[in-house]
Amino acid sequence: MFTGIVEEIGKIHSVEKGLNSGKITIAAKKVLEGTNIGDSIAVNGLCLTVTAMGAGYFTADIMPESMRRSNLGGLNRGDEVNLERAMAAEGRFGGHIVSGHIDCTGTISKVEREENAVWVYIDIPEEYLKFVIEKGSAAIDGISLTVAKVTKSGFAVSVIPHTGEETTLLKKKVGNIVNIETDIVGKYIYNFIRPKKEEKKTTLTADFLAENGFL
């Protein structure tokens, strides 16, 4: 589990792309502290398992499902990514519950400055809009942010200077693709309360009983 508080901006050292999967090596420093092979690190919000590491880098495999759901398949050598280690039990919960399982990608549609903040508008697939509420939380490329507005095609966040400096978000441009993880609590509640498809029922009638010799 993660909190969406980015610890470090890493840089892609190499990307090996297969037909539908891949392997990524990322130059980093802080997230390597206390990390062992098999541990989890969120890369642009996507939970990846460390398969190899050395002085100043770690490597992780990207399975086909992760390639389909995220923007990692479009990364190249030199690109920057947001990094966060899995939450330590004794750590502060500074963001919100982030699973590291990407729902979909979104497209940055507009960027506007308002005094010390920057508004970032993101369009997402319609099927995920039901999980986004104003003043709720969403993770964008692994960054825990408050949903400031909900639009017909997506949502907007207002980014403070500190978040802009510590993450890659404000380096993005209109048209760039970002990873989206909606609020996991909202998804569970929706699943619990949504109408379930009715199972086919057999109606027992007098005619049915007569036809089968019971009457």
Question: What average pLDDT is seen over the chain?
Answer: 92
Start-to-end CA distance of the chain, whole Å, equals 62
Phi/psi of residue 151, each to 5°?
-110, 180
User: 104-193, which class in CATH?
Assistant: mainly beta
Q: How would you class 205 by CB atoms within 10 Å of its CB: exposed for 0-12, middle for 13-18, buried for 19 or more?
A: exposed
By the 8 A CB rule, do 40 and 47 touch? yes
Q: How many C-beta atoms surround the C-beta of residue 121 within 10 A? A: 20
pLDDT tens sequence across 2-57: 999 999 999 999 999 888 999 999 999 999 999 999 999 999 999 999 999 999 99
By the 8 A CB rule, do 107 and 121 touch? no
Every domain range in the chain assigned CATH 2.40.30.20: 8-85, 104-193
pLDDT tens sequence across 164-215: 999 999 999 999 999 999 999 989 988 888 776 655 555 667 777 677 776 6
Q: Looking at domain 8-85, which of 3.20.20.140, 3.40.250.10, 1.25.40.20, 2.40.30.20 is its CATH number? A: 2.40.30.20
Closest CA to 150 of 167, 138, 161: 138
pTM of the shown model: 0.86
Q: Give the whole-angstrom CA distance, residue 158 versus residue 121.
A: 9
